[in-house]
Chains A and B, each alone.
Chain A
Amino acid sequence: MAMDSENVTADVIESNEFPSYSARYAVQAVPKTVINDRVKFLGAVPEGRFLQEVLKAFPTEEEAGHGLNEDGGAPGSTATQP
């Protein structure tokens, strides 16, 4: 995907070599994919499903309108109401 869009950065991280960084994302099994710190899933998935997960990684209009998840919080995370 990174080869098809300048908007995409794709990282492969050897989790054993970066235990603290991996712990930040609660990596207990691999492969674990994290998209924009918002969407997380385990295992390999088909291309269409992967794209759906990528598209979920953006704030919804409602969230954007309320200024939520600006810090990349996970979906469903509690947020302070204005």
Chain B
Amino acid sequence: MEAKRIKFERTGGFAGIRLAADIKLDDLPQEQVHQILELLDDLDFDQLPEQLTDNRQVADGFTYSVTVISEKRQHTVTTSETAAPEKMSSMFEILTQIARQQARKKK
């Protein structure tokens, strides 16, 4: 699917501070869009279960929720950070950076 918009939320963590962003891909630099789409493709994001969990007894870990919206459908994946595959962690790093930039602009 051709993603148009991504809703991103990070909660929990040692600080317990929520970070969220509503990202329109058209607003991002071309290179960053390409990077995100490639990661979504590699992850086969649409086919991922809605919840990713593992058996680790994590404390202070982040919980991430990503909703990818295209013209025809949307899909949300929520995961603890230790349950996320490595490519998803890479995507979280990019989305976190964008969310921080958005938060600073609002300031």
The answer to whether A and B assemble together is no
